[in-house]
Amino acid sequence: MSHHSYLIVGAGAFGASTAYHLIKKFPSASITLIDRSSFPCPLAASYDWNKIVRADYGDPFYTQLATKARETWKSDRLYSPFYHQSGLVNVGSDDLGTRMLDNYKSLGIETEAEIVGVRELVQRYPLLQDCDYSAVTKCYVNPSSGWAEAAMALKEVIQTAVRDGVRYVEGTVAKLVFDEAGDCSGVQLQDGRVFKAARVILSTGANTPKLLADSAPRRPEIQSEDRIVAAAVITATVKLTQEQAEKYKDVPVFIHRAGGIDGEILPPTPEGVLKFCRDISFTNKGQHPELSKIISSPPTDQPNEGQKTPPQDLRDEIDRVKKDLFGKQADEMDFDQYRVCW
């Protein structure tokens, strides 16, 4: 087994990016990327119409890291075809916008971001006029932020990695394999195949706690405990008519976390898909049969982990977000797809 051999489990954003950068840095290395289906896997959180690309955070570490990522989305030939600089509006506590601006300043990062009043915001974005602003007096606006076509970008990254020498394997990992010293040396798939490498990297997202519990229930030192808790949010999309797509084409990324709304709008995609997100996470807890502890994990006993068939209470939650953010304009929109995103 080569010292420069890597086994990456999970081909979502983290796994695909890891494979891509490893093969660039070590072109002669043996790198295997495994996921449950052909790529991109539709169960991955990154398999989505779009994801927000921003550096607007209250945490300076996030701001610094995300600024580099945002610039890569803008300038790198691999990513830039999928990036859209729509601008971003964040409505939250009045001090959040100030903290985000202070982070840019303290890090020496130039920004076009600013804080404006509700009246000025509505003048800039008339389609947001019916939103509930009763809990705020100021809004944060950054015209330099935007969003990315997530699934399309993910597919391109994996294809590029494979062209450069990464081996892609389709299969569901049943458990981790350990050597005599107790170190992880590989994985065993549900069909019995075993893959080993000098380094095993888990990019398994919400499935990580369950995978660790399934693999070594009698080894408490490797269990996730409260360090990793699987959680999900509910999203829904509207397929806009041609007339609606023209009307909403200039909508920015809109994050509203004031007054109990806790929702997001992502601008229309080139296909005319407008996405909403209820930005409050929830868990799916149950007792693991061998670990004898409560863990949260996606409902793997349901088809597609139940991602396409959320219960009615979650549908009601995302419908309320649509109405809170667009007011009476929401009456002209009907959701055509729902998703529980883990």
List the one residue out of 173, 235, 148, 149 whose CA is nearest residue 11. Answer: 173
Quick: pLDDT tens for 306-316.
999 999 999 99
Quick: pLDDT tens for 28-56.
999 999 999 999 999 999 999 999 999 99
Question: Which residue bears the tokens 């490797």?
Answer: 222
Task: State which H helix or E strand residue 235 sits in.
Answer: strand 232-239
Quick: pLDDT tens for 152-181.
999 999 999 999 999 999 999 999 999 999
Residues 6+ apart with CB under 8 A from 207: 10, 230, 297, 298, 300, 342
pTM reported for the whole predicted model:
0.94
Separation CA 281–CA 268 (nearest Å): 24
Separation CA 203–CA 25 (nearest Å): 19
Quick: pLDDT tens for 100-133.
999 999 999 999 999 999 999 999 999 999 999 9
The alpha carbon of 292 is separated from its chain's Cα centroid by a whole number of angstroms, namely 30
Residue 240 DSSP class: -
Separation CA 163–CA 166 (nearest Å): 7
Decide: residue 66, CB within 10 A, 0-12 exposed, 13-18 middle, 19+ buried: middle
Task: State which H helix or E strand residue 234 sits in.
Answer: strand 232-239
Distance between start and end Cα atoms, the chain: 34
Give per-residue burial for 157-192: e unless 16+ CB within 10 Å, then b: bbbbbbeebbebbebebbebbeeeeeebbbbbbeee
